[in-house]
Structure 1
Amino acid sequence: MTLEATSPGANYGSTASNSSFYAAMRILPRDQREAMFQIYSFCRQVDDIADSDGPRDERLVALQEWRNDIDALYQDHPPPRLADYVGSVKTFRLKREDFLAIVDGMEMDVPQDIRAPDMATLDLYCDRVASAVGRLSVRVFGLPEEDGILLAHHLGRALQLTNILRDIDEDAGLGRLYLPREALLHAGITSDDPNRVIVERALAKVCLPLAQRAKTHFEQSDEIMNRNKRRAVRAPRIMSKYYHAILDLLIARGFNAPREPVRVSKVTRMLILLRYAFI
């Protein structure tokens, strides 16, 4: 995606077709599916702004324009790029503050690149860029309010921590380091230079506790999904199993340099889909 907005009436499914969540979205009924594609498209567009190499002040302006457009959407004056969202917002009672939280999360990377945030800041980042997406999603899936919010909290953090562990080298190439400062210092790593940290021999002492934190969030997510209707949790279950498989591969590979990328095999992806989609 470029910084250009998805046009009104866009095929949101094609926008999401390269997403690891695509299969999970495709199994949903049409109205839920379209709402999820819209949420995904929104996330992609604001993420593309944050990750672009444009001037930081221009990226901040572009993100503020998204905030203004979200406000207009909820004031019954949707701008063209959000006109298609009106039905989903009303049908699934999607909350303005969750869309705004996603923008706030993406913006955390813009004024300056995130480098070794403290744990509280990392958790806030995960809440905004992942759990806020989850809070929108669980409304679409039809989960009860309390369990939906809990599932978004835990599964969002599980997925984002897995992303962070998977993308250590890619993020370093962008000048970013999401590993928490407390864990780095505990491992004896005092630098916050991403390219220095990723070759530290003690890096596994930082990453393994973070992987365990992600596993705990996956376990708590499973507990929530197990007590809800199976059809309501099909999509988040597929997302969870896919990302849990990534986390297991990362742990098995290890975190010391050089690190080969990990990929969930096509067979494993198909087995996850067959087991959890058609229930």
Structure 2
Amino acid sequence: MNDLMKAYHHCESIIKEHSKTFYKAFMLLPKEKKLAVWAVYAFCRQVDDIVDEGLSPKEELFVFKEMFADFLNGELPSDDPMWLALQDVFQRYEMDVQSFHDMIIGQEMDLYKKLYYTEEEVLHYSYHVASTVGLMLLPILAPKKKNALRKDAIALGQAMQITNILRDIGEDLERDRIYIPIDKLERAGYSLDDLNNRILNNKFISVWEEMANKAEGLYEQALSTIHLYPMHSRTPVKGAAYLYRAILGSIRKKGYSVFKTKHFVTSEEKQQIISQI
């Protein structure tokens, strides 16, 4: 196996370990495109890990940004195989460099901002941490339609990130982070004290549902142009959207227990969803 294939397999092992949902959805792509998706995912994961697990994340992120600048100047900034795989992706596809920069900005927000007050702020954050990934993938998934699909790829990323937020409320509280809009909670008569005390009542559920409805509207928007994707990309994108959207149904079914339980769609349910697409 040559060095490039080893690098791609390294990227595959990262997505396989960290995102079984995306791995399952994008397994359906032709081989070359699938490898490219693994490389983009490995890049995003590295930034994510620096912010969430780095010992001195601000400094580490600064170093990573310098490395990315070197990479864009045609260098391989380190012997991390991710860069070798990504270099091949950038040679094969017309990648959207700005979306890579914007994703790093989004991850950086987590180092400085822990409270989100309005839906607008949440959507702005969701664009940076999630929609950007869709924009990175568009030149791979739909090279001839990437401009026509841009707006709805952004909507899909926002829908997925709001789904993450609604699933991870308890986990985020542990890290002193609140992404569910505080002004909506307060308008519903549900205080920050209630949230910190993990009180699950109708006021909380009404806000959770308002955000879930927002996400569902964004999923609908994203799927309205699914026919513009080439045939081979259509099922993976649809699959990722359906698998993520199913998380909302799973949370409802389990009585909105987002403070204590990490909700996920089981392997059997995933199989069933994918087979129906």
Q: Same fold (TM over 0.5)?
A: yes
Corresponding residue of 2:166:
165
1:43 and 2:41 equivalent? no
Deviation, 1:140, is: 1.1
1:71 and 2:72 equivalent? no
Contact 1:32–1:141, Cα closer than 8 Å, also in 2? yes
Contact 1:204–1:254, Cα closer than 8 Å, also in 2? no
> What is the letter of the counterpart of residue 77 of structure 1?
E
Corresponding residue of 1:186:
187
Deviation, 1:23, is: 1.2
Corresponding residue of 1:117:
117
Corresponding residue of 1:272:
273
State how far apart, in whole Å, the 1-side matches of 2:92 and 2:194 are.
Answer: 46
1:11 and 2:10 equivalent? yes
Contact 2:135–2:150, Cα closer than 8 Å, also in 1? yes
Corresponding residue of 1:252:
253
State how far apart, in whole Å, the 2-side matches of 1:188 and 1:233 are.
Answer: 42
State how far apart, in whole Å, the 1-side matches of 2:182 and 2:233 are.
Answer: 38
Q: Relative contact order (C-alpha < 8 Å, sep 6+): which is higher?
A: 2
Corresponding residue of 2:3:
none
State how far apart, in whole Å, the 2-side matches of 1:257 and 1:21 are.
Answer: 22
Matches within 5 A, 1:94-173: 94-112=95-113, 114-143=114-143, 144-173=145-174
State how far apart, in whole Å, the 2-side matches of 1:236 and 1:227 are.
Answer: 11
Contact 1:72–1:79, Cα closer than 8 Å, also in 2? yes
Contact 1:246–1:262, Cα closer than 8 Å, also in 2? yes
Over 3 Å counting, the alpha-carbon distance change for 1:132 and 1:256 in structure 2 is same
5+ residue gaps, structure 1, are 1-6
Deviation, 1:236, is: 0.9
Q: TM-score with structure 1 length normalisation? A: 0.86
State how far apart, in whole Å, the 2-side matches of 1:103 and 1:260 are.
Answer: 29
> Which secondary structure state, in structure 1, belongs to the residue aligned with residue 102 of structure 2?
helix
Corresponding residue of 2:232:
231
Q: TM-score with structure 2 length normalisation? A: 0.87
Contact 1:46–1:103, Cα closer than 8 Å, also in 2? yes
State how far apart, in whole Å, the 1-side matches of 2:217 and 2:260 are.
Answer: 24
5+ residue gaps, structure 2, are 1-5
Percent identity, aligned pairs only?
25
State how far apart, in whole Å, the 2-side matches of 1:257 and 1:83 are.
Answer: 39
Contact 2:96–2:139, Cα closer than 8 Å, also in 1? no
Contact 1:26–1:33, Cα closer than 8 Å, also in 2? yes
- Bigger fraction of residues in helix: 2
Deviation, 1:192, is: 7.2
Contact 2:173–2:196, Cα closer than 8 Å, also in 1? yes
Contact 2:30–2:232, Cα closer than 8 Å, also in 1? no
Deviation, 1:200, is: 5.2
State how far apart, in whole Å, the 2-side matches of 1:110 and 1:192 are.
Answer: 23
Over 3 Å counting, the alpha-carbon distance change for 1:76 and 1:275 in structure 2 is same
Contact 1:199–1:256, Cα closer than 8 Å, also in 2? no
Corresponding residue of 2:217:
216
State how far apart, in whole Å, the 2-side matches of 1:203 and 1:272 are.
Answer: 29
What value does the CA root-mean-square deviation take over the aligned residues? 2.3
> What is the letter of the counterpart of residue 94 of structure 2?
R
State how far apart, in whole Å, the 1-side matches of 2:39 and 2:259 are.
Answer: 38
Q: Which moved more, 1:227-236 or 1:88-97?
A: 227-236
Deviation, 1:38, is: 1.0
State how far apart, in whole Å, the 2-side matches of 1:275 and 1:106 are.
Answer: 34
